[in-house]
A and B are shown apart, each in its own frame.
Chain A
Amino acid sequence: MIQPKKIFRTKDGRLGFEWNDGFRGACSIRELRLACPCALCVDEHTGEKLLDETTVPNDITLVKVQSIGRYAAGLTFSDGHNSGIYPYDKLRELTEKA
């Protein structure tokens, strides 16, 4: 099970994770917002993306990051969006790409 050992931010304002498999990486906040898996952003049944990317500001920032049980993190963004639950394996993938 992938879990975070450390959470940090980078100089350029990205959210960084150190995972328990030793991997370290970071992801831009906008990238995280666009990847939000919540039912407002992605259709639950078809998986179709409902979020209009043009409505997400380029300078969006993160307000809060908190644990959801033992498998995910909840993110609160500066646009007020906070309904996404990001499983750790998905977050690790996101921090890997960047």
Chain B
Amino acid sequence: MTKRDLLSMEDLTRSDVELILDTAESFLPIMHRDIKKVPTLRGRTIVNFFYEASTRTSTSFDLAAKRLSADTIALKKSGSSVEKGESLKDTVLTLTAYSPDIIVIRHPSVGACRLVARQTTASVINAGDGKYQHPTQCLLDLFTLRQTFGRSLEGMRIALVGDIMHSRVARSNIQGFQMMGMQVTVIGPPTLIPRGIESLGVRVEHDLSTLASHDVIYVLRLQRERMAEGANFVSTLREYAAVWGIGKNRLRRGQKVMHPGPINRGVELTAQVADDPDTLILQQVESGLATRMAILYRTIVGYSDAAGEETS
């Protein structure tokens, strides 16, 4: 069962996810070779289209495509005809005229990826749309967890802490973590937890008192750029850091901490935790490359085992 596009974690089955993670693992040795490139996607074209600022996602998609020998086109909002008022539809129709195999898109608005998918013949990969979904982040996080804890994540407890409301990572990761059998708690001030989130099957808590009972603490950035003046989601950053910030004193020894980046040091995470060997933040970045190579590869060859080298 294969979907053409990866717009949401709901587009994947558990076996699709496991296949992507296995594929990512098989790509890991490439990272340690002198020549870090394989000819797998030679002659394929991948468009990386970023309407919104990104460091990790855009660089890792670009590098992932290059490591697989695909031709890449990088397009950003600034410097493109978007600045002249070209609509998303027209931009996509233009790019589609080059017959790309994949369009990777990051956009500030929910619904952008669906619109693109309706207008193009290419497969569309959602690299983050508004506050909705960020499925490739979820996959790289699952890969990181698997590298850290072993293949089965069944029964593990993970807490997502912080600004759930404005986080696309939260929505994708809740679905992905649950798909792999993990139990998810969301923790944050009531103002930053969307009404109705319980419908996803998560526990909702408003303080850090149960933090110790979780195997992994997944910290979300307090999205200051989404906080319009006068919105009053939190009173002050100082109070937020004091009540919901993750410092060493709130963690068990060896308790793993994850964060999708970019970090606000001293707000949701202390600098000591950010730099602690028990945090997996840099592993997440590293996982991003292998995982995105696997996603690009699987999007082109399909999710069935028969298409890959796993055929027994």
Check if A and B associate. no
Interface residues, chain B, with chain A CB atoms under 8 Å away = none
